[in-house]
Structure 1
Amino acid sequence: MSTSPRAALAAMMIAGLLLAGCAEHPTTRAQTPATPPPPRSTSASGSTSHPRTATNGRTASHAALPDSTGIAACDDYLSSYLACHRAAGIFVPDQLQSRYEAMRTNLLRDSQDPDIRPQLAERCNSLARSLREALHGKSCAANPAPETSSP
């Protein structure tokens, strides 16, 4: 019994999205603090303060993330993510960068969680296998990134 390439691609995309969605949910419930957090300060104009961002535009929660997961399979997957997803045509070009950032943040955050980290290598290997299947033998460099400026 043979499945069509489109059905296989759709199944892989759904599996990838499920994995990415599951990665955003903690495995245990967070404890509520005994004391409520202090209220946000307001300026003289009455506007509420917002979380400060680092110089690279990340919020403070992202600033604590490392540059790499420290897991070879995940770091390899992230390093080829943009080129391979572009070559496979899985996402529309204007969504690719935001999807990469979401995947990167999830993997970096999960690499810091001692309960999730032991399973992370297999998860990244599974994501990489799905991506290779979606490429149907094409090279990740087959479709170069579009130029952002014209001559």
Structure 2
Amino acid sequence: MAARNQTKDLKCATHLLSDKFRNMTEEKKAIVRDLGFGGLMHIPPLRVHHQLLRELANNFKLGENRLETGYGSFKITPRKIGHALGINATDYKKKKKKAIDGCLFALVIIYFHLSKNKGKKRAERPPKPWIANWSKEQLVERMSAKTEEILVSKHNMLGVFYLPECC
């Protein structure tokens, strides 16, 4: 039950960030790139399914910084977050945390990238930033499939306890 209480806010509205970059002048975009945050410009405008965010948050082991999934166990490091979003994430300082905070979208991209490319050799993997390798359509399709998988799994778990009515 502790895993279910590790986060309170599961909002992830990437469309807000995407709108900000779309309305930015080229001069300001160049400054953002120079600061090392250019990878964020690849984030498409979409709304991440709440069910997917909840599933990822509940399967994230805080003490170990590890995401446990059906595709395997993935260690989430500042370097992987940097690879996923094309940012410098090395100023991270480890603290004892009782909740997941920050951008859960990074967790989505890491999960999708690592599960899709598991077992591939370095030369076969897509280049960094990982977000640049996913179109909005691909993300929506993958999120929908994963959300459906989660719902079916939860439905099947509930079915174990279902007792049909008698005549």
TM beyond 0.5: no
Higher strand share: 2
TM-score (norm 1): 0.29
Relative contact order: is structure 1 or structure 2 higher (C-alpha 8 Å, sep ≥ 6)? 1
- Highest Rg: 1 or 2? 1
TM-score under structure 2 normalisation? 0.27
